[in-house]
Chain A
Amino acid sequence: MAGKIEKDREGRLHISRSSISSRINKTGSWRYLKPVYAGRTAPCSAACPAGEDVPHIEHLASQGQFRGALDTILKENPFPAVCGHVCFHPCESACNRSCLDAPLAINAIERFVGCSDTEEKMLPLIQTVPPNGRRVAVIGSGPSGLSAAYFFCRLGYRCDVYESEKEPGGLLRWGIPSYRLPAAILKHEIKRIENLGAQIYCGRKVSASFLRTAEERYHAIFIGCGLARPIRMQIAGDVQALDGLTFLKDIRNGNRGAFSGVSAIIGGGNAAIDVARSLVRLGSHPIILYRRRVEDMPAFELEIGMAQQEGVDIRELTTPVRMDKSARGIALRLQKMATDGFETDSGRARVIPIRGERETLPVQQVFTAIGAEAENPWQQPKNGSGSILHLSHCTLTTVGFPIARGGDLVNQVLSVSDAVASGKQAAMAIDSYFQGGWASVEKRLADCRVGQGPALSLESYLMNDVSHQRHPQLVGYHDINTAYFLPADRAEPMVAGPKERRASFSEYRSDFTTRSAADEAGRCFNCGICNDCDNCRLFCPETAVSVEDTRRIDMDYCKGCGVCVVECPRGAMTMEEAEHETGS
């Protein structure tokens, strides 16, 4: 009866008593789906032409870490303060939060973060590549050129910027009025780029011969000199019309001039609005004449609204047909237009003149702001010579050595952020060319897209590995678990009333306070990123989530229930099909 039972006869009882933990049971073998910290892309980041990592920026700002927020912006955009003043914030239009209450005031927060940088040295804590011995010439110090210089410097190139005006900045300095972008803000941010090593040579207009000899001194060129030749109306008497862009430049130069009476402004873009709002401040009564409908105007809606509040009249479906001198100034002959029910290729209403509908408008002065074109033929790429690559924001040619053209030269861009994107794309394209040859450029850039593009991330480019690629999928509102967010009002700094605004060229937007900036940033869902809210670890029934330096899921035990993914408030996790990695 001894049996084969091994027992300690001195008091050890063979009972139902545990001796080991359940850890030997590798329940990871149960799952057929597994959770992944996917790091999907937020729609705001994808909408930003510069591809800024907006959720991270907001997360840092919400915790008062404005230096960190600034550095995060600077990874993708050298102009946070400038963009905070003038960007048309497509990020806010894409913001998922707008489905709950109101979009995040991303632009105002960027403005706050950008302007909070008061450090003397202003060397950003961002990654740069050691010098590679190559030199790049940048032609034009507008936003695209300066952006190109910034990104080239970060990529290890020696950069010389040639600017024809006496101060750098392009339209940022000489086009946009100071009530939208004070010069000091711009200077501060340009200094940062110079501190990275870019040399800016002002008063140096570049000619075609420069291009011919450039190959001896430079390994690549970026041309971002913009459209310097204003387009004329080409109607009788148009010589009497003043050029809007020149007018704006004069004001920025300190030559304001006196303009009274009625001014007519021909055009519908931001330049036309800038001219009109400037005229208001100079004592004139501006009337904008636009050939299509107001809703077709390319100018930013916000700007149009501001202008109208300040007393600018807008007459749509009107186009000038002749200008005659008159006793009091100019008799402007106008043709009324009507939509014909069709659209142009760019999606705007097609208009036709209404027979017999003409009128004369007596004005003091007429300004044109109907666009511009490149001044010199070499500023545009020649067809048929060498290879040419048309990217979304720049073109790349190799005739001997690589030349990129960006900014207004390539796109009729509306915004500074597109110009930033242009410079970045060009720098990345040229660097890819040097590293992997012509054939590698498109693929290399495509790997750095933010979402589906066209925005590119330099961060991804520098990391050069799959794990740091920005996820191609965007986080939608349905991916957000709104149970974790209480509706809250959008906070925005105050804007002065039209009467106050008209009185001067001073800025009219207040700034956030530190507290209100952090609070508003706290409304951000942080779509697609992990901000350590710890819900996944909290709710996991298997206690399979741990945090050491990174957050990880123990695949030996994860049953693939998916609770973590659903309870992630911000869609930072997805479920994927599981191949069994556990040993069991």
Chain B
Amino acid sequence: MDHQPHSDLIHPGHVACPGCGAAIAMKFALRAMGPKTMVVIPACCWGVIAGPYPQSSLKVPVLQTAFATAGAAAGGLRAALDMTGDSETVVMAWAGDGGTFDIGLQSLSGAVERNEDILYVCYDNEAYMNTGVQRSSSTPYGARTTTTPGLGWKRSRKKNIVEILAAHRIPYAATASIAFPEDMIRKFEKARHLKGGSRFLHVYATCPTGWAIPSEQSISIARLAVHCNMFPLYEVENGVDYTLNYQGNVEVDSYLKAQGRFRHLNEDEIMRIQTMVDEDWDLLMQKVSR
């Protein structure tokens, strides 16, 4: 690791589950972002991890807001900082997949269409984990959740949030993974310095609790997701310039079989998922090679 660790901007004693990928993600993010950061957190796991009153688990200012409002609140806070002459502090919205893909999509879209000078981070654990593992539009095809249980496992595909953001032609959108810390920290640093417009980072954040995997596998499952192209690592600049950061070459079945939320899938269903991953990969490659 080239990256020099410094004193982290996150306190221990927070109540994230053991092995929580979102906690690791925040740690890496703040390493890149530094102390001149304000974090806007809507309802999500981090709303609780940030500390119940009167505790705070972060060493930077935190503004918790209502579920749907991360994009709007972050934009408003940015406006205030601009009006008080603070051009150094970066406003970072930090929302889960529910607050980004579903209930928060409108305010996110509104904020980035206005090209608000914010960094919006979606840490994605692929369900409403804070409320007990209900499905979101980020839950992948094939997964069981408490609202897609048993034979009713999720039959719709995961929404492609980066493509949605790319369609807004924002300066920078990218995926990142906690299993690739150097790549992730590089992207946060890049996003931090790209002031003046909207930056979006989609971070893969393992949830051992919700996905039914042992806590110690948190990083290895994240690595496997990238290796089997379930979660490709790439960047999109201005909505049109695609850069691929990693090419995986492993089949999906080891990824699926390692997780309780997919354990019910039979070989045909796994093959179907492989096909879907391959299709999505082909689409991405077309954009990369443009």
Contact = CB atoms under 8 A, between A and B. Distances in A.
Question: Are chains A and B touching in the complex at the 8 Å CB cutoff?
Answer: yes
B239 interface: no
Contact of B215 (A17, A483, A562): A562
A533 B55 contact: no
A534 B6 CA distance: 12
A22 B214 contact: no
Contact of B12 (A533, A535, A554, A565): A554
Given A22-B57, A560-B18, A567-B219, A538 B5 contact: yes
Interface string B217-241: 1111001000000000000000000
B12 A544 contact: yes
Contact of B24 (A541, A562, A565): A541
24 contacts: A21-B13, A21-B59, A25-B55, A27-B13, A27-B14, A31-B18, A483-B220, A535-B1, A539-B24, A541-B16, A541-B23, A541-B24, A541-B27, A543-B27, A557-B12, A561-B215, A561-B218, A562-B18, A563-B24, A563-B215, A563-B218, A566-B216, A566-B219, A567-B220
B11 A22 contact: yes
Contact of B56 (A21, A533, A544): A21
Contacts of B181: 538-539
B35 interface: no
B197 interface: no
A559 interface: yes
A538 B2 CA distance: 12
Interface string A552-584: 001011011111011100000001000000000
Given A23-B12, A557-B12, A18 B220 contact: no
A24 interface: yes
Contact of A20 (B1, B55, B59, B64): B55
Contacts, number: 110
B85 interface: no
Interface residues of A, number: 38
B219 A21 contact: no
A17 B220 CA distance: 37
A378 interface: no
Interface in B1-36: 1, 5, 8, 10-16, 18-20, 23-24, 27
Contact of B216 (A26, A556, A562): A562
Contacts of B218: 541, 561, 563
Given A541-B24, A562-B215, A25 B15 contact: yes
Closest 8 CB pairs of A and B: A562-B216, A561-B18, A18-B56, A557-B12, A22-B13, A561-B19, A541-B23, A22-B57
A543 B31 CA distance: 12
B223 A483 contact: yes
A559 B53 CA distance: 22
A489 interface: no
B34 to A, nearest CB: 16
A8 to B, nearest CB: 16
A19 B51 CA distance: 11
Contacts of B54: 17-20
A548 to B, nearest CB: 13
A343 interface: no
A534 B13 contact: no
A542 B1 contact: no
A225 to B, nearest CB: 54
Nearest to B178: A539
B216 A27 contact: no
B53 A18 contact: yes
Contacts of B18: 30-31, 541, 559-562
A561 B219 CA distance: 11
Contacts of A20: 54-56
Interface of A: 16-27, 30-31, 481, 483, 533-535, 537-539, 541-544, 554, 556-557, 559-563, 565-567, 575
Contacts of B27: 541, 543
Nearest to A562: B216
Contacts of A544: 12
Given A541-B20, A543-B8, A543-B11, 12 more contacts: A17-B54, A18-B51, A18-B55, A21-B51, A21-B55, A22-B57, A541-B218, A543-B10, A544-B12, A561-B208, A561-B216, A563-B215
Contacts of A537: 5
Contacts of B11: 21-23, 543
Contacts of B178: 539
Contacts of A21: 11, 13, 51, 55-57, 59
A33 B178 CA distance: 23
B53 A25 contact: no
A538 B180 CA distance: 11
Nearest to A558: B12
A539 B215 contact: no
Contacts of B215: 561-563
A563 B216 contact: yes
Contact of A22 (B5, B8, B51, B217): B51
B187 to A, nearest CB: 16
Contacts of A554: 12
B20 to A, nearest CB: 5
Contacts of A25: 13-15, 55
Nearest to B64: A16
Nearest to A18: B56
Contacts of B55: 18, 20-22, 24-25
B216 A542 contact: no
B112 to A, nearest CB: 28
B19 A557 contact: no
